Chains A and B, each alone.
Chain A
Amino acid sequence: MDSMLIYKALLTVGVFAVSLGIAAYLTWGERKLAAILQDRVGPDRAGPFGLLQPLADGVKMLMKEEMIPTKANKWLFIFGPSFFMLTACMTGAVIPWGSGITVDGVVYPLQVTDINIGLLYLLGVVSIGVYGIMIGGWSSNNKYSLLGALRASSQMISYEVAMGLALIALTMITGTLSLGEISKQQDAGLANVVYQPLGFLIFIICAFAETNRAPFDLPESESELVGGYHTEYSSMKLGFFLFAEYINMFISSAVMATLYFGGYNFPFQHELGLEGNTLAIIQTSVLFIKIAIFIFVFMWVRWTLPRFRYDQLMNLGWKVLLPLAIANIFITGIVMWAMGKLN
């Protein structure tokens, strides 16, 4: 039991390190992809292909002068980005990164904790994440920051409703809230996106909104609100806000891959004739490829679509996505009833 405890601690640190490392390289990837989509070169000065750019950015961020406005609430001002970062990192705990590695007959699961309310935990942590933005923006004592923070909170609340309802339709099929269980079910059957295409569409739109990515980046909106909630932030506190956005993007890609696209499973995985650990490693790599594809979509959308107007954002959330999500639940229920799956 002790070895399991040490393993879990190591896995936690590992998941932390991987999400932070990936988030760091996503800043590079985002700039590079933006450049490619716009026929530019992108960062290429630091190291080969600009691969040391995240390091240079990090050093720059740390070396910058720390500014705390005189009229700002100092404690809350520091608490905001810290909390945002904390919640961003916490979500990685329930995601199954692989099926588990067997050493000396003991199965070491590649999931920090498979709690039976994994989905609920995920939604909970994501929704308290907005407090980081709200507290940060409000404590800055700046009108732009406050507006950005208000936008962030109303946007998060609006889209969380549709997201939750999309997940209700999913749980009607899976019958469980545990992410490990959902992954295993998709090994036996088809990926959930086949049964829930509309649910997935609603979920991905809401995921864009929840991570404050374009076209839903109204809380930041450089052109209207200077920097939105992080107008007054500088140095690493600003870095935390920007960095946490990339962690959120990584985690929501992982969640989408797990919930709708079969998680670590891939087609014909049992026909390859591979034994336990090799298969587990391939499965984990497959999950990361799926995550990479979703991250690409995130960035691709950002560099294609312009930002929504605020009323359009609210209309889409409440008048389109919410009714669609409710309709999706009804359709799912009716189809399940017709197929005799209700018990």
Chain B
Amino acid sequence: MALTNRSKQVAVRELTFMERLYLPAIIKGMMITLSHIFKRTPTVKYPDQIREMAPVYRGQHVLKRDEAGAERCTACGLCAVACPAEAITMESAERKKGEENLYREEKYARIYEINMLRCIFCGLCEEACPKEAIFLTDRIVPSSFTRGEEIFGKDLLVEAMNERIDVSKRQRPEVLEFKKDKRHLHNLTYQDARPKTTAHH
């Protein structure tokens, strides 16, 4: 059965006189090209004109700071576990006395690297994060000349205090609601999670 009614039966036959004249076909073709004069060009002149991103666009990651400016990440490694492309690596360190203004939790990521060439921008790290620390933004990852430059460290990932990055688009009500859901283990706080897991065993 035909999926559309556009298919035509092809047959080898002699061309009729009108077809052999070619001129009607040529004029028909020229009318098609002429009609394109009045069509809109879909071109976006990129560096001058930046196309609007879709609200769900997932681009370069950001590591958020809290309101006081302390890094939210606690180096739990859930993002790295969730990452299907294994693009995230990190090394944790313990917070020293007097560093409370720098790091929110007692443990923090000393090294946090995302290999942008491996990353598939699926957003699972963002979903896994219990601390609202990592988000995908609508920024495009810049190109580079070497592979090494595409491994982004904390210098490129952590947001600067004077130019904070807006992630409200990624914190939609559904997302916040999802994060509240206690059935998802990673959404539980440390104290909540401990008794439950021990109770099972």
Contacts and interface: CB of A to CB of B under 8 A. Distances in A.
A305 B29 contact: yes
Is the contact region of chain B dominated by helix, strand, or loop, or is it mixed?
A: helix
B30 interface: yes
Interface residues of A, number: 13
Interface in A287-314: 300-301, 303-305
B70 to A, nearest CB: 47
A272 B34 CA distance: 34
A35 B39 CA distance: 12
Interface in A247-306: 300-301, 303-305
Nearest to B26: A305
Contacts of B43: 40-41
Among B33, B36, B41, B42, the one with the most A-chain Cβ atoms within 10 Å of its Cβ is B33
A36 B41 CA distance: 8
B184 interface: no
B24 to A, nearest CB: 13
B42 A303 contact: no
Contacts, number: 32
Nearest to A302: B33
Contacts of B39: 39
B45 interface: yes
Interface in A180-208: none
A40 B37 CA distance: 10
A38 interface: yes
B36 A38 contact: yes
Q: Sorted from nearest, which 9 A-B pairs have the closest CB atoms?
A: A304-B33, A41-B43, A37-B33, A304-B30, A304-B29, A37-B36, A39-B41, A39-B39, A36-B37
Interface of B: 26, 29-30, 32-34, 36-37, 39-43, 45
13 contacts: A36-B36, A36-B37, A37-B33, A37-B36, A39-B36, A39-B39, A39-B41, A41-B41, A300-B30, A300-B33, A304-B30, A304-B32, A305-B29
